Structure 1
Amino acid sequence: METQPGKSAGARRAVLLPAVALLVLAALAVGLTVAARGPAGPQPVDLAARVDEYTAGFAPGTPYTVPDAAQRRAVADGVVAVLDGRPDEAGRALGPVGYRLTEFTEADSGRRVAEIADDPAGPGSARGWGRVYLDLSARASWSVQVPHPVSDSRTELLGVDVFRAAPGGVLVLAGAHRRAGPDGSGAADPAHRADTVFAAVTEALTARGLPGLQVHGFDEGSLPGQDAVVSAGPGRAGPAAELTADGLGTAGYAVCRAWREKCGQLEGTTNVEGRFAAGLGVPWLHVELAGRLRTEPARRAAVASVLAATAAGWRTPVTP
């Protein structure tokens, strides 16, 4: 450092000391500001990665336990309590059956999400009862239902994509491969069994008037020349079915409309959740998709956009 001629060492110290003091004070101020703000909050959660990790071990023959009526009701009651903004009550319903309520910010959408899932300190996910995700940023007005994750490959990620794409959704995810369990009886298949947590939750949502989209997959060989099947299951097709089929057609896919033509027994007329919705007159759609529409990310995103548009059309006030 150069010094100015004629200045003594004492004079130089007199100039430097106040400057050093100011720097120290500035550093203290920064430290106090950081302390006042507190530690950084939890990182946003990538829901697709979370669901992918959860479903990674699903396979035929993996453990599955049939829940009793009280257990099914407890999880459904917990979901309804979250819908009503009563998290403490939800916790009281869920705790005794080994579930817990967690909230986080979803990384892709930036929205707050509630997760109802097995408590790691409880009986564990080996029961195969599934999970529920609720968008807390808007009043719940529709659901996307995934009864056959992994066995209908990548429908679990399609469910996530739809959930992210439109506000006010509830994602209901089955907790086991459809052929899980030791006896191969299909006890874990919630599309055809009413004694599942999945069915109890979707019935609770439907009873509240929430329309539902249920996503499935089919082998192209079972319906050659078609990419998708849209139906209302055992119910009556309405505007949402037409909107969905038209949207998939506009996206470039061949669509079988079950209310107009035969669709290779992929119409979902025996679906448990569909029957319940039809009994209450609540809109419900059964959407079957060929493999490439589920497994290829770009095509899956295009399908999710169409289904999200259907869901957005359902975003009307729901009476508690």
Structure 2
Amino acid sequence: MAVGIGVALLVGAVVLVSLPDSPEVGTVPRTPPEPGLAARVHDFATALRENAPYRPPGDAQREALTGALAQLGRGASGADAASEVTETREALTPLGFSVDVGVDTRTGRSYAVVASEPNAERGWGLYVVDLSAPTRYAIQVPHPANDLGTDALGVELFRRLPGAVLSVSGTHRRVANGAGDVAHREDSMFSAVAEAHSRAKVPQVQLHGFDDASFPSADVVLSPGATDSLWPASAIADGVDGTGSSGNSREKTDGPELDVCRAWERACGDLEGRRNVQGIAAAREGAPFAHIEVNRTTRDDPERWGELVRVIENTLRER
């Protein structure tokens, strides 16, 4: 489906705010992302500050957003899609969200962006919904201001997976003495969206980052979080390093070699995400979930993280 120029004009008056991140120690300036969706998400992520005000949403506000995103994720076309965007704008503007649509220059697919104002008290996140197909995949970036580069991985996955929804936290994780750490807060808007995806059994991948020195024996840590099912975490791990958990050889591309720690086989430096609340919700609902930690060296190298993204894409598409 192509929502196209008509929908873009319909909501073209909506202004998307974008601004920059509390960097990790030793940050090397990154190449600015290409204009468009990647820049929009990057600017939002790098704007977030740890001293911003914050208050969590109420139940009615959580329901308003999840309902609106579900409506956008139906994959409607033409006039129906335009009407849904208009209804979404009317419902969410009073909550401090802007709503905009665009066409991704890389894929040609239409998308909607629902975003709170960076560093506003209602810092409830940025959500990108593919308008070209019904929702099939959920990509989560819970610490965009802290785990540098995870926003870029999230956008690339969104582009590779038609029917994806990309959720980006609207807070620095240290906001309000940790109240903004959405990976460990059930009262966040980010969690409300993830819970809705879990109820719908939508596969979820959650992207995190860690410093090389904190766990030098691995480039990537794969975990199912609190869920019992190893898919998709196990399949992603096997695709990244080319070996199954039994050590059997698997087909491997000529991409960069990445060392993987499988959290269901051994301890992975307390990077397993067992207390992650989105993973707990997925376990409760029986939804697929993968908690993915990526070291700094990999996040700084597009060739390395591109290999990881390729494997995640193939894993989710093959189900």
TM-score (norm 2): 0.78
Q: 1:110 aligns with which of 92, 108, 111?
A: 108
Q: Is residue 2:200 matched to residue 1:202?
A: no
Deviations 1:95-115 (A, max 9, x none): 331224321101222211111
Q: 2:167 aligns with which of 172, 177, 192?
A: 172
| Counterpart among 26, 30, 50 of residue 60 in structure 1 | 50
Secondary structure at the counterpart of residue 183 of structure 2: coil
Aligned to 1:137: 132
| Structure in which a larger fraction of residues adopt helix | 1
Higher mean C-alpha displacement, 62-71 vs 159-168: 62-71
Flag the structure with larger Rg. Answer: 1
Q: After superposition, what is the alpha-carbon deviation per residue over 1:250-300, rounded to whole angstroms, capped at 9, x for unaligned?
A: 441110111111111111110000000001111000001100111222222
Matched with 2:215 is 223
Q: Distance in 2 between matches of 1:240 and 1:124?
A: 34
Cα separation, 2, equivalents of 1:299 and 1:65: 37
Greater shift, 97-106 or 149-158, is seen at: 97-106
Deviation of 1:246 after TM superposition, in Å, equals: 1.2
After superposition, where does 1:83-94 map in structure 2 within 5 Å?
83-84=73-74, 85=76, 86-94=84-92
Paired with 2:86 and 2:106, the residues of 1 have a C-alpha distance of 27
Give 1:57 deviation, angstroms.
Answer: 1.9
**Structure 2 partner of 1:304:** 309
Specify the SS of the correspondent of 1:67. coil
- Which AA in structure 1 matches 2:115? A
Residue by residue, what CA displacement relative to the aligned partner does 1:115-151 show, whole Å, maximum 9, x if unpaired? 1123x7xx98453211110111222111110000020
Separation in 2, partners of 1:239, 1:254 = 19
Instruction: Find the residue that maps to 2:71 and give its secondary structure.
Output: helix
Match of 2:72 in 1: 82
Relative to structure 1, is the Cα distance of residues 215 and 124 closer, same or farther in structure 2, using a 3 angstrom cutoff? closer
Letter in 1 for 2:65: V
- Alpha-carbon RMSD: 2.3
How many corresponding residue pairs? Answer: 269
Output the CA distance in 1 between the equivalents of 2:221 and 2:315.
15
What is the identity percentage for the equivalent residue pairs of Structure 1 and Structure 2? Answer: 39
Provide the C-alpha distance between the structure 2 equivalents of 1:238 and 1:258, rounded to a whole number of angstroms.
10
2:156 match: 161
Q: Which letter maps to 2:238?
A: D
2:93 is aligned with 1:95: yes
Name stretches of at least 5 consecutive residues in structure 1 with no aligned partner: 1-37, 315-320
Distance 1:240 1:289 in 2: 16
With over 3 angstroms needed to count, the CA separation of the structure-2 counterparts of 1:197 and 1:89, relative to structure 1, is same
- Which residue does 1:291 correspond to in 2? 296
CA distance in 1, matches of 2:311, 2:155: 14
How many Å separate the matches in 2 of 1:59 and 1:95?
Answer: 23
Superposed displacement of residue 233, structure 1: 0.2
Alpha-carbon offset, residue 60 of structure 1:
2.0
Change beyond 3 A, Cα 1:138–1:94: same
Aligned residues of 1:237 and 1:259 also touching (Cα < 8 A)? no
